Structures are given as structure tokens and as C-alpha cells.
Chain A
């Protein structure tokens, strides 16, 4: 597999949200606005790239039977680093994402890539894989967040598009997340079908 395919598979073909249906908890939880989606996506991307790099570096040192606990410790460390840095330098974003940052640890995308890809491939491919999947995740979250924000509060990236009297509040609430996600998955499936 060449590196471009390796990178771009995260967007449509193996998009973690729309195709692999991984990491649903943060996906449904944080996407009430596009900015939140972007923040969560980029934080996850950072953790993914870093943990993929480290896991592919240490894959031979770590005995098979303790690989999962080791991966979890590596991932949790990077998540805590992200959390501390966000809390210190972007407190506003941290305020809205706060609860979900620690959840990156148990986000199955990160452990999934460490286990399925980084522990079998070299450093460079693993970093590219992490970047591609991470950006694919961010792309999905921003798309979901933008649609929900637009329909639910009449805004896009915090800019008012139309007056609040006409919004459908349902879309910023939990049920709206499921509805929008369902339609987006249907759309992605259609796109994949046409491309095939």
C-alpha cells in the first residue's frame, strides 16, 4: 500500500465514524457545534499520531501478553498531556470539551489503530496512518457538528446564519446526533457504492 492510500483511507474508505463506527461516544457527545467537533478531532489526531509512533517504535520490546496494558498506558499518557496543555493554554475550549478529553483514552479508534496497524508496521507508515485516521475522524466530527449547529442553533462556527426563532432545537440535543449520523452514514455508503 503506498503512503497516499494509507493516508487518505481515513476520510471515506475507512472513516472511523462513518464506516468503522468506532468512537461513537465522543462523536455523539461533543458534536453540538462545529468548533467542538474540530477541537475534539484535533486532540484525538494528536494522540493517535503520537501513540502510533511510540507503539511502532516499541512493538518489538513489548512482549505479546502485556501489549494491551502497555498500549493503554502509552495512550493515557498522551491524553493527559493533551488535557494539561489544553487546560493551561486554551481554557475556553477545555471548558466545552473537558469531560470528553479523558475519554480519548478509551476511544477504541486509538487502541484499535495501535493494535491493528502500529504494532505491525514501521514508524513512518504508522505515523501516516494515525494522521489519516485522525483527520478523517476530525472531518467526520466537524461535518456532524456543523450540520447540527446549523439546524439546531442557526449558527456555523459560532456565526449566526439565521435567526434563532426558526431553529429545530432537537438537532443540538442527543436525538439529533443520532439522526444526523444516520443520514451521513447513508450518504457515505452511497458515495462508496458509486465509486466502486
Chain B
């Protein structure tokens, strides 16, 4: 086949054809992967909720809680056991990370202590800030472990800023950001505590 000439009509038709076919293919792929992407996101979220909370048998309906320190509200996932409220998973975040946005799932139990956390999304430096996933739950190092700590008796700030928690070595910014996210969760939690106590399982 001879090479087509670079006439105006040819060029317009070619580009139109190429983009049309590309759009059709992308639409098709988007359609078949849409559900799987949604499902894998939901699965990651519900797995995180299960890991951060004490044992529960039913997850209540999630709701949004506004916080004063930012425009966005946090999502609360209350958990129940035998109809009794046992804790809440709070999807919290911070924009102060070294790589910007960090999203954390924080579990808060009935007494108001942190029952667990899971980093959902971050862009911190590998090998430094990315250690936050393990650093703050190291049971052998009480000064950096935040699990089971209650903000009433424990200051959720790095020791450099007068808090009670040792920052990740060489990653103070990430540590500050991480604790900022947790503090935001606690702030929202304290506002909601009353309502949560009254909430009963829907069953």
C-alpha cells in the first residue's frame, strides 16, 4: 500500500480515526475493569478496618464527621459486638507529609485509646518515611509505640516538639504528619463520643 499523502483531509481523517478507536478501546476497558477496581479498593478498606479494631461482629453504617482543623470531614466506621458498640475505625489524613497526602485508618476503642492503625496511602521516601507502617507499632520500643495509647494521658506529638513519641530516625516530618493525622482522628472522635455511645447495633 502506498503511503498516504500529508494532505489536510488525510491528516484530519487520520487523527479523527486514531482518537476515535483509542477512545472506544479505553471506554471498553474502563467498563470491564470498573467493578474490579471498586471491589479491590473496598476490600483494602475493609481489611484495614478489621486490622485496626478490636474484635467485632458487625460493622455499622459509616458516617462523616467534620473537623475544625480542615475542610474535609473524616469517615467513621462504627463497630459492634453483640449489639454493643466496641470501637470505631476513623479514616483520617494529613497533608503535611514529606510527600504530601497521607491517609491512615485509625482504630479507636471504647475507652478512647488507639487500638490500631493502618497506613492506606502515602508518598513518603522509601526506606525513611515509609517505615511509619511498622515504626509506631513496635511493641518492644514503648517510646515509639502508639498502640493502646490514649490522648488523655499521652501527648501525640514527637519528643522534639514536647510530645511523648520518638520520631522515626531521619524522618521527623513524616512522623509529625502521621501524628497529625492521628490527632485529627481523636479530635473528631471526642466530638462524636456521646453519639457513638448511644448508637446501638441496627440488628
Task: Name A residues whose Cβ lies closer than 8 Å to a Cβ of B.
Answer: 32-33, 58, 60-66, 69-70, 73-74, 76-77, 80-81, 84-85, 87-89, 91, 95, 99, 152-153, 169, 172-173
* Contact, CB under 8 Å: B29 / A84: yes
* Contact, CB under 8 Å: B10 / A77: no
Quick one: CB contact mask for B12-48 with A, threshold 8 Å, 1 for yes?
0011001100100110011001001100110010000
B138 adjacent to chain A (CB < 8 Å): no
Taking CB atoms and an 8 Å cut-off, the chain B residues in 98-118 that contact chain A are: none
B62 adjacent to chain A (CB < 8 Å): no
Which 10 A-B pairs have CB atoms at the shortest separation, nearest pair first? A88-B36, A172-B127, A88-B33, A63-B6, A65-B6, A77-B22, A91-B40, A84-B33, A32-B126, A66-B11
* Contact, CB under 8 Å: A89 / B36: yes
* Contact, CB under 8 Å: B14 / A62: yes
A-B contact pairs, 5 of them (CB 8 A): A77-B26, A81-B25, A89-B40, A99-B123, A169-B128
B-side contacts of A58, CB under 8 Å = 18
Best-surrounded residue of B2, B15, B36, B127 (most CB of chain A within 10 A): B127
For chain B, give the interface size range. Answer: 20 to 34
Within 8 Å by CB of A61, from B4, B44, B128, lies: B4
* Contact, CB under 8 Å: B26 / A69: no
* Contact, CB under 8 Å: A87 / B40: yes
B140 adjacent to chain A (CB < 8 Å): no
* Contact, CB under 8 Å: B37 / A172: no
B7 adjacent to chain A (CB < 8 Å): yes
* Contact, CB under 8 Å: A63 / B4: yes
A-side contacts of B1, CB under 8 Å = 60-61
Given A32-B126, A62-B4, A169-B170, 11 more pairs with CB closer than 8 A: A60-B1, A60-B3, A62-B14, A63-B10, A64-B3, A73-B19, A77-B25, A77-B26, A85-B33, A173-B126, A173-B128
